[in-house]
A = this chain, B = another copy of it.
Amino acid sequence: MKVLVVGSMAYDSVETWAGKADRALGGSATYFSLASSLFTPTEVVAVVGEDFRDSDLERLRAHDVGLTGVQQVAGETFRWGGRYSRYFETRETLFTELNVFSSFDPEVPAELRDAEVVFLANIHPRLQLSVLEQVTAPKFVALDTMNFWISGELNHLKAVLAKVDLLLLNDEEAFGLSGSGNMIQAAAAIRDMGPKAVVIKRGEHGAWLFTEDSAGLVPAVPLPEVIDPTGAGDTFAGGFIGYLARRGRFDTESMREAMVSGTLAASYCVEDFSVDRLETVTLADLQTRHATLQQVVGTLDANF
């Protein structure tokens, strides 16, 4: 099944212990589509400015990412700058320049409106809703969001939540949205808002999938060194949704497999700045690291 993602394409300036990347390719739709396209045809709806480099569009095309829905308009591309502490305990935003993103009005090209799987990356919930109204009959819709919308646009967010199958968010966001600091309580409260499934991302601690009848953890791959965690969440989503779309089934078992796929994709994303490692990842890489991940947990055997 074809995947349609709406989100940002951006130029990021990032500082970590390992160095700096300036005006490096980033954005939720970028990370997402590079991961998703490992598994299935992926189409992007986004906006970029006049300064957006052809060579960066080429990097996406090299992965067969569809760019029909990417508008290039007058003005500058969305820019974000951030600095992480040594071990990524904290992140400081240095600047956010919305630029052409501030007047983004996502338009789904006619030939993409029959998309079967849709990922609404973290943008204003009003825009997420607008995209949903343009696609004709999606089989599976997943949503990301952030604290900014949870605290500032809760009504709009709840309107979208009522219409999606899956919400992916991190633990702080889940606690903020649900009003509970207990993960199980939070997932139950969020499922009551509409989505049948909730994925709660916990960074290096892994990610949890909650459905009607199950709560499942996929641990993160333990890494001896992280270079830049920017985009890991969107890469997780891309590995998850792309896998699910290729499989073409949306039951709990398939989603648990998709969690593994998202986890492995994200583990490569953080090994370099920007998409520098992610864009060279192959399915063979995922296979290799899959074995590592399974060994980390093993069988959890014991005899009582």
- Among A175, A214, A243, A302, find the residue whose CB has the most chain B CB atoms closer than 10 A: A302
A176-187: contact bitstring with B at CB < 8 Å (1 yes, 0 no)?
Answer: 000011111100
B304 touching A300, Cβ below 8 Å: no
CA of A297 to CA of B214, assembled, Å? 11
CA of A225 to CA of B185, assembled, Å? 8
Q: Does A62 contact B (CB under 8 A)?
A: no
Contacts of A225 in B (CB 8 A): 182, 185
CA of A185 to CA of B87, assembled, Å? 11
Contacts of A175 in B (CB 8 A): 87
Q: Assuming A257-B301, A304-B286, is B219 touching A181 (CB within 8 A)?
A: no
Stretch in A4-12, A48-56, A64-72, A288-296 with 4+ CB within 8 Å of B: A288-296
Copies, count: 2
Q: Does A202 contact B (CB under 8 A)?
A: yes
Contacts of A286 in B (CB 8 A): 304
Residues of A within 8 A of B (CB): 86-87, 89, 175, 180-185, 202, 204-206, 208, 214-219, 222-226, 243, 256-258, 260-261, 283-284, 286-287, 290, 293-304
Further contacts, 9 of them, CB under 8 A, given A87-B182, A184-B223:
A182-B224, A183-B222, A185-B225, A215-B222, A216-B295, A260-B300, A286-B304, A290-B300, A297-B297
Enumerate 14 A-B pairs (CB-CB under 8 Å) in ascending A order: A184-B224, A202-B205, A215-B296, A216-B295, A218-B300, A243-B302, A258-B302, A261-B302, A283-B304, A286-B304, A290-B304, A294-B300, A297-B297, A297-B300
